[in-house]
Amino acid sequence: MKHLLGIETLSREEIERILETTQAMLEISQREVKRVPTLRGRTIINLFLEPSTRTRVSFEIAAKRLSADAINVSASGSSLSKAETLTDMAKNLVAMNADLLVVRDRTAGVPQMLAERVRAPVVNAGDGTHEHPTQALLDAFTIRQALGSLDGRRIAIVGDIAHSRVARSDIYAFTKLGAEVRVAGPPTMIPKGIEMMGVKPCHSMPEALDGADVVVMLRIQRERLAGALFPSVREYAATFGLGFQSLRYAKPNAIVLHPGPVNRGVEIAAEVADAEPSRILDQVTNGVAVRMAVLYLLTGNHS
Ligand code: CP
């Protein structure tokens, strides 16, 4: 693996290797002194051209826990505002002997484009509606942590499937790891032909959650919605929001995931987000370990 641009091109074995490495990294994160010298002397540049809290901060913490130097660059205050191209800026950053570039951009394909043009490994931290591979890896890790394995598990992904890079990456990861995946949302939010990805489209919560071991709720992405894809937020919440009423359709011990940030009262009720079935904060904790694993596998000295 030279770059991590998406889950689509990874094999099950490659995903398993990252998840196994994540377990070791989680143990480091649980120590009193959460730092090892593994990547001492390496320089990681986090180029975030779209807002982020969890992904940006966790990549920075991940680099520091491995003793690498982490430099954060955002669009505001960069030379992009002086009409420098993104490629030129990335080449200049890598020319400072950066060892790895983490990239988030609102346009699909930007991490791939930079990977073809710069002399450093590139990690996709979310590109438009395309992929968010480290989110899918941390989601898969969180499910394994709770349930042991994804093999044969039924997973429902609910929300704006069409505009969600998390949904795409989750579908690739979960199906490669042996899960049965259902997707649900208003018809305007379910891409035509989604069955080709090996998932079952559903148009109601009872159908989607029936017998589910895991429910992944997606954020309604107001910033990506070009037009009104559902009549009102209130109607969306009543039809596809997750409350304890709708969670009854899933298995009694089903767990609930959400990539964040959460729109409380829209896609998920606050009482569910904060309750026992919710693994939302476990996802965040595991996100640091997943990103440590990815940085190590792409820049560390290992066989
Ligand atoms: N899940 C996720 O990508 O969150 P951020 O936008 O805060 O990074």
Rounded Cα distance, 128 and 109, in Å: 8
Give nearest CA residue, ligand 1 atom 4. 54
Strand order in the sheet with 180-184: 199-202, 180-184, 154-158, 214-217, 255-257
Q: Kind of pairing, strands 43-48 and 214-217? A: unpaired
Q: Residue 51: its pLDDT value, please? A: 94
Q: Residue 234: its pLDDT value, please? A: 87
Alpha carbon distance, N-terminus to C-terminus of the chain: 12
The answer, yes or no, to whether residue 303 has pLDDT greater than 90, is: no
Structural domains present in the chain: 12-131+284-298 (3.40.50.1370), 133-283 (3.40.50.1370)
Question: What confidence tens digit (pLDDT) does each residue in 88-128 have?
Answer: 999 999 999 999 999 999 999 999 999 999 999 999 999 99
| Phi, psi for 38 (deg, rounded to 5) | -50, -45
In the beta sheet, which residues pair with residue 200? Answer: 182
Residues 6+ apart with CB under 8 A from 20: none
Q: Kind of pairing, strands 122-127 and 100-105? A: parallel
Give nearest CA residue, ligand 1 atom 6. 52
Q: Is the CB of 221 under 6 A from ligand 1?
A: no
Band of pLDDT at residue 223, cut at 50, 70 and 90: low
The answer, yes or no, to whether residue 228 has pLDDT greater than 70, is: no
Question: What confidence tens digit (pLDDT) does each residue in 45-71 have?
Answer: 999 999 999 999 999 999 999 999 999
- Retrieve residue 211's tokens: 């017998």
Q: Residue 225: its pLDDT value, please? A: 61
Lowest-confidence region among 71-75, 123-127, 226-230, 269-273? 226-230
The answer, yes or no, to whether residue 226 has pLDDT greater than 80, is: no
| Ligand 1 nearest-atom number relative to CA 260 | 1
Q: Mean pLDDT throughout 26-31?
A: 96
Handedness of CA 264, 269, 275, 279 (dihedral sign): negative
Average pLDDT, the chain: 95
- Retrieve residue 137's tokens: 């890896």
Rounded Cα distance, 87 and 92, in Å: 9
HSE of 135, CA atoms in CB hemisphere, 13 A: 29
Q: Is the CB of 286 under 6 A from ligand 1?
A: no
Q: Residue 302: its pLDDT value, please? A: 72
Distance (Å) from CA 54 to ligand 1 centroid? 5
Distance (Å) from CA 227 to ligand 1 centroid? 23
Helix (H) or strand (E) holding 245, with range, is helix 244-247
Distance (Å) from CA 303 to ligand 1 centroid? 31
Q: Is the CB of 260 under 6 A from ligand 1?
A: yes
Q: Is the CB of 52 under 6 A from ligand 1?
A: yes
Q: Kind of pairing, strands 154-158 and 122-127? A: unpaired
Residue percentage of the chain with pLDDT more than 70:
97
| Ligand 1 nearest-atom number relative to CA 287 | 1
